[in-house]
Amino acid sequence: MTPEDRTEAAWKLVRQKDPSDSIRSIMMDTGASKGTVNNMRNVLKKLEAAGYQPEEIRASSWNRARQVANGSPESQEHEDWIEAEAQKLVDAILNAKLAARLLKHTDITALALAKLSPDLPNALMAEWAPEPGFDPNDEAEDLPF
């Protein structure tokens, strides 16, 4: 399976909300990371809280669900929107003359981000973590097939 296939498989399991599907079992079944599965569960909660019906959620891809949960404009191409928002943040950091301070001591920057929002470091790691590749030498125990 491609990384996209694994991610979509994990999203399918998360949105089914089967009580027997633990984070670990979804990770084992799909190869998605713990951070990705946690992020998916958070997105599902946001969509449900926003009033989206189960049928709407089931019909959405992971990328689309994440866009909607994060308030991405419906009419704008998602990648272009992300790029524009990221550039705005870079400009704000540069205007506040924070770039050098952020880069000088990354350990202090990490602590500051955690103080800003305790969930931010985990969300960043989940965003940046590569999906694990398929290793044919891995033990196949606990897999349903």
Q: Is the pTM of this model over 0.85?
A: no
Q: What is the DSSP letter of 55?
A: H
The two structure tokens encoding residue 21: 């599907």
**For 97-139, what is each residue's pLDDT tens digit?**
999 999 999 999 999 999 998 888 888 888 887 766 555 555 5
Query: Of 129, 143, 116, whose CA–CA distance to 37 is shortest?
Result: 129
Look up tokens 């290793």; give the residue. 135
Please, are residues 39 and 33 in contact by the beta-carbon 8 Å criterion? no
Q: 49-101: per-residue pLDDT in tens?
A: 989 899 989 888 998 898 888 876 554 566 777 788 889 999 999 999 999 99
Count of residues in the chain = 145
Angle, CA of 89, 92 and 97, to the nearest 5°: 130
* 3-state DSSP assignment of residue 86: helix
CB-based contact 47:57 (threshold 8 Å): yes
